[in-house]
Structure 1
């Protein structure tokens, strides 16, 4: 059982009269995660993830893996270090490489601490080429750390120098089947973002340094976002302003979809990106397959990224208040926090009998690993409840004096949305059961479509 007294959660303690000098602009999520002890700053642009936040990261990884499996993905692991020789072959070491971390081994060979793995995975396929067309399409993905020497690392996990990413690389026989793969993986992305229940927009995007012929970005709308998006309040259309201005050769004054003039500019945090790459990497690196005629032919590629740690921070940025975290239901570290009576209170003994029974009943409904028992009874209920609300548990159940009153005993149940209810035991357990059922529905894909919230494609 998870006990709050054993949880390593090194919250920042600021003395009452201390004057805090703000040296950088903090985002809402960064401030809360740091203050509450879920994330600690390491060196500049790097972060240490504490146990409670790690639970959220692990849940997101599980959700991503489930959706990648449904899209036909096979999980692999590639080395963090990639030879610079591979990047020279594809031309990606030409131009500005200031964001790349370079290291040398003792023999003088130079490596990249990989910001992405197109070259590495393509070289791996080339080393086993030619493969048969019967083995295609091939969809390989990994989840691991990536590195970029950001000029301005800021907003905590949203723009860090080291971050966790899911990257999938697909290989097909031609553009037609690669386009079908693109549709399949994109559908898995759509499903994932609907499961998270955070309003998002999907927009046409520039291919940039990655290259290729087709690209889409997934964004959470937030004032701290670095991308400028145009959004139509009439039809829900959204587009990356950079791409729209490039295609129209001017800033649009009306919606490209419905022609309404109800266009507004919003900021977006990019949390995922998809690319159709063609043979940009396979051709120079010699990754081929044997076609139906038995002749070698270049593989046609796609790549698909999801920022794992960035989604956590960006989702919290969108959902939380200035003082309290609010998690996507599938990513909350715990589903339920149970707070018992204060030690030495007159209701302690009879309330503890109810508390102990609830520990078993709630654990059966939501899973014992999803229940956090705040057993720090030396603290008042009010202090523990304040902390529970700030941590954003979806449900916090309090067994206090009202639970042992002679007539109509009640539990206090606090929801992360801010509502507070007084319920009897059966009603409280029903609420836990409904929350757990909602999570199961999300995992099974039974969710309302976000048609009015998801941006149309340009």
Structure 2
């Protein structure tokens, strides 16, 4: 739907800006990957029950790529050997992935087709590969801090991806399918796959440990040469000899982030978006057609259209001009859609002694403010968004940040 698409586009823009800050360059890879590449890396012999397979008219088998390690490594191999001076390379794409999920549920949170950002790094050594891993991990930390949804980052099993190091990012939610151990004293968290629940927290020694459910929203892997050696992706080292590149891969479930964030924030009555992902910042509702206050209230409505549009940008202002509907019906719909701010120009706006606008906040709160106070509120909201985009987190947000990120195992 158009409303959700706006949120999706905003998240994609935010992800791309953070990947570019981490030195990423955008590419596009084919959806179909020859299964012969997966056979070379040994992954075709693993559990592939969730993967879609197709054959062309000549019988050649392909995977509808659930991930692109083989495809991008094979692509790099066709240009090999490259010089060590051309590394590191950090390449990413955003596109559809396909998995035949056994338990497809919760809408976009676990679907058979989903949108994913996947990045792949190529380095000359384990040491420089860890530098790439750190740079991308910092970009992930920054991205999830910008979204202001509490998250935990934990050590994780490498699974069929392979490699020597892996971290997961989770939103804590009762609908999550991963089991996490979390300390309520210091924020420490660990995935139960790699951590046997201790009696005391490994970080602060507290006994305040709870088992919680998590929705995995991102994953990072240090892969080594698991893919580069069998597929022949090499570079020329300082001695002029070919050497396998050392790889990392980094995924973010784009559609899952949106679905999981809404699951964490929202209620049955209304959606609540992360501020940077809300489809619109402000919804403006004017008087009903034929009401006694229509003509004088529309003067104020038009002034707000101009002033609010200048403060938050005209593209972030939704003007609900369906004046055949009552204010109440439009307000109810605005609440359900989860606009951060909804401004109502009704009968109180034309009071002689103290004209007031109704400002409804996402979450149920309401204030009655005059025009200047309303514009100040919109300006504050826009300023906060700009601070988030620039990474200028307030000092009080620092505590939230460390609490949200928790501790790595």
Q: Is the 8 A contact 2:46 2:160 kept in 1?
A: no
3-state SS of 1:327 partner: coil
Q: Tell whether 2:149 aligns with 1:198.
A: yes
Deviation at 1:260, TM superposition (A): 1.3
Cα distance in 1 for residues equivalent to 2:17 and 2:363: 28
Q: Which whole-Å deviations, capped at 9, do the CAs of 1:342-397 have from their partners, x for residues lacking one?
A: 11100001111111111111111100000000011111101110110111100000
Conserved? CA contact 2:170–2:218, under 8 Å: yes
- Select 1:128's aligned residue among 79, 82, 90: 79
2-structure distance, mates of 1:258, 1:346: 65
Pick aligned residue for 2:222 from 248, 272, 276? 276
- Say whether 1:342 aligns with 2:288: yes
5+ long unaligned stretches in structure 2: none
> Does 2:174 match 1:223?
yes
Q: In structure 2, what is the equivalent of residue 97 of structure 1?
A: 48
C-alpha distance in structure 2 between counterparts of 1:235 and 1:443, whole Å: 27
Give 1:95 deviation, angstroms: 2.9
What pairs up with 1:22-421 in 2 under 5 angstroms? 50-245=1-196, 251-421=197-367
Between the two proteins, the alignment pairs up a number of residues equal to 404
Q: Tell me how far apart the structure 1 counterparts of residues 404 and 228 of structure 2 sit (CA, whole Å).
A: 37
Q: 1:127 and 1:453 mapped to 2: Cα distance?
A: 42
Moved beyond 4 Å, runs of 4+: none
| Superposition deviation, residue 192 in structure 1 | 0.2
- Displacement of 1:453: 2.2
* Contact 1:222 1:269 survives alignment (8 Å): yes
What CA deviation, in whole Å up to 9, does each residue of 1:70-116 have, x standing for no partner?
A: 00000000000000010000011103211010111112111100000
CA distance in structure 2 between the partners assigned to 1:74 and 1:242 by the alignment? 33
Deviations 1:409-441 (A, max 9, x none): 010000113210000111101111110000000
- After TM superposition, the structure 1 stretch with the greater mean CA deviation from structure 2, 353-362 or 204-213, is 353-362
Q: In 2, distance between residues paired with 1:335 and 1:235? A: 34
Contact 1:239–1:455, Cα closer than 8 Å, also in 2: no
Q: Secondary structure of 2:402's match?
A: coil
Q: Which has the higher mean CA deviation after the structures are superposed, 306-315 or 91-100?
A: 91-100
1:241 to partner: Cα distance: 1.1
In structure 2, the partner of 1:31 is none
Using the TM superposition, name which of 139-148 and 95-104 deviates more.
95-104
The superposition leaves residues 299-342 of structure 1 with CA deviations (integer Å, 9 ceiling, x where unpaired) of 00000000000000000000111211000000000000000001
Deviates more, 1:192-201 or 1:414-423: 414-423
Please give the alpha-carbon distance, in whole angstroms, between the structure 1 residues aligned to 2:166 and 2:218.
11
Mean Cα displacement is larger for which, 257-266 or 214-223? 257-266
Is 1:338–1:397's contact at 8 Å kept on the other side of the alignment? yes
TM-score by length of 2: 0.98
The Cα of 1:257 is off from its aligned counterpart by: 1.3
Contact 1:253–1:261, Cα closer than 8 Å, also in 2? yes
